[in-house]
């Protein structure tokens, strides 16, 4: 894939959105300790910025799932690649995800984490492609909705490339089936 990345969401726009999410989450969890769980790999850059906007006590952990190979379409089968390090039983948990496409990953994660009896479990998602949902998922804190394009940058990859772009853009893929 040698195509160009066409800018869609600027660095400033991303940071404004993350600041607003941070404000909202900090005020809603006031007086509590929040266990922020990032979904690897896509969410790590977003999570790093988000937690620095939280003014409440925060603990962090990560979980990794895979649904995509090197292509751009969900395989439909979600696998747990790497589990949390700590128990979330009785804790206030916020699951942080980069993007919801079909929603299958988030659905799998919510089912998996609810079984572990957290006190509460909410979701914070930077980007949502509402036209693509195949599963019912509840997004409690949403950054922005995006069109059905294959997005890269700010943690999002195409075949592990482009995660380091400070902005979000899309790539035109010859083999992308809409
Ligand atoms: P879902 O299970 O179809 O909702 O897909 C969720 C995961 O697929 C996300 O956590 C991303 O890692 C990846 N993903 C979905 N859409 C995109 C995209 O446009 N660019 C890069 N990765 C994506
Ligand atoms: Mg990915």
Q: For ligand 1, say whether the CB of 43 is within 6 Å of any of its atoms.
A: no
The pLDDT confidence band at residue 173, using thresholds 50, 70 and 90, is confident
Q: What atom in ligand 1 is closest to the CA of residue 157?
A: 21
Mutation test of ligand 1: which of 1, 39, 63, 67 has the most ligand atoms closer than 8 Å to its C-beta? 67
Measured in whole angstroms, how far is the alpha carbon of residue 95 from the centre of its chain? 8
Question: Taking the domain 11-147, which CATH number applies?
Answer: 3.40.50.2020
* Distance of CA 128 from the midpoint of ligand 1 (Å): 9
Is the pLDDT at 177 greater than 70, yes or no? no
Q: What atom in ligand 1 is closest to the CA of residue 78?
A: 2
pLDDT digits (tens, 9 = 90+) for 40-57: 999 999 999 999 999 999
Residue closest to 50 by CA, chosen among 155, 170, 165, 158: 155
Through-space distance between the first and last CA atoms of the chain, rounded to whole angstroms: 18
Least confident of 49-58, 72-81, 112-121: 72-81
pTM over 0.85: yes
Q: What integer pLDDT is reported at residue 175 of this predicted model? A: 56
The pLDDT confidence band at residue 76, using thresholds 50, 70 and 90, is confident
Q: What atom in ligand 1 is closest to the CA of residue 41?
A: 12
Mean pLDDT (whole number) for 120-133: 95
pLDDT digits (tens, 9 = 90+) for 133-154: 888 899 999 999 999 999 999 9
* Distance of CA 56 from the midpoint of ligand 1 (Å): 29
Is the pLDDT at 2 greater than 50, yes or no? no
Q: What is the mean pLDDT of the chain?
A: 93
Q: For ligand 1, say whether the CB of 38 is within 6 Å of any of its atoms.
A: no
Before 96, cis peptide (omega within 30)? no
Distances (CA, A) of 98 to 2, 101, 110: 23, 10, 15
Least confident of 14-28, 47-61, 66-80: 66-80
Mean pLDDT (whole number) for 72-80: 81
The pLDDT confidence band at residue 67, using thresholds 50, 70 and 90, is confident
Mutation test of ligand 1: which of 63, 68, 143, 176 has the most ligand atoms closer than 8 Å to its C-beta? 68
The pLDDT confidence band at residue 125, using thresholds 50, 70 and 90, is very high
Instruction: Identify the nearest ligand to the CA of 39 by its number.
Output: 1
The more confident residue out of 177 and 104 is 104
What does the domain layout of the chain look like in residue ranges? 11-147
Q: Are 89 and 116 in contact (CB under 8 A)?
A: yes
Mutation test of ligand 1: which of 156, 158, 159 has the most ligand atoms closer than 8 Å to its C-beta? 156
Q: What integer pLDDT is reported at residue 174 of this predicted model? A: 66
């Amino acid at each position: 894939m040698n195509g160009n990345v066409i800018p869609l969401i600027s660095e400033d726009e991303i940071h404004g959105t993350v600041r607003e999410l941070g404000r909202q989450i900090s005020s809603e969890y006031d007086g509590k300790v929040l266990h922020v769980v990032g979904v690897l790999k896509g969410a790590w850059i977003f999570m790093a910025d988000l937690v620095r906007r939280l003014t409440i006590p925060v603990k962090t952990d990560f979980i990794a799932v895979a649904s995509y190979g090197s292509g751009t379409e969900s395989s439909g089968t979600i696998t747990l690649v790497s589990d949390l390090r700590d128990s979330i039983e009785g804790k206030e948990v916020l699951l942080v995800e980069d993007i919801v496409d079909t929603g299958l990953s988030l659905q799998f994660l919510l089912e998996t984490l609810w079984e572990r009896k957290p006190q509460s479990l909410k979701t914070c998602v930077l980007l949502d492609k509402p036209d693509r949902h195949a599963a019912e998922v509840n997004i409690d804190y949403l950054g922005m909705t995006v069109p059905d394009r294959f997005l890269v940058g700010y943690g999002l990859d195409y075949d592990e490339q482009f995660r380091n772009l400070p902005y979000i853009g899309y790539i035109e893929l010859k083999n992308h089936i809409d």
